[in-house]
Amino acid sequence: MMPATNASAAPNAHNLPVVSDVATYQHQAQANPEAKLVDVKKLIPTIELDIRYATSVNVLGEPLYPNAVAFLRAPAAAALQQVQAALAAQGVGLVVFDAYRPYSVTVRFWNQIQDETYAAPPWRGSRHNRGCSVDVGLVDAAGQPLLMPTDFDDLTPAAHAAYEPVTAEVRRNRTLLLDTMAAFNFVNYPAEWWHFDFARWAEFELLDIPFSALAYPN
CA max distance for the chain: 51
Residue 135, annotated ligand binder?
A: yes
Amino acid letter, 53: Y
Long-range contact set of residues 175-181: C-beta below 8 Å, sequence gap at least 24: 176/87, 176/90, 176/92, 176/138, 177/136, 177/137, 177/138, 177/148, 180/83, 180/86, 180/87, 181/83, 181/136
Count of Cβ atoms closer than 10 Å to residue 69 Cβ: 21
- Annotated catalytic residue, options 34, 62, 116, 192: 192
The question of whether 192 is a catalytic residue gets the answer yes
Q: Name the region of 153 (left: φ>0; alpha: ψ -120 to 50; beta: rest).
A: left
Work out the angle between the directed axes of helices 74-88 and 168-183 (0-180°, nearest 10): 130
Residue 195, annotated ligand binder?
A: yes
Binding residues: 128, 135, 195
Residues at the binding site for Zn(2+) are: 128, 135, 195
Cite the active site residues: 192
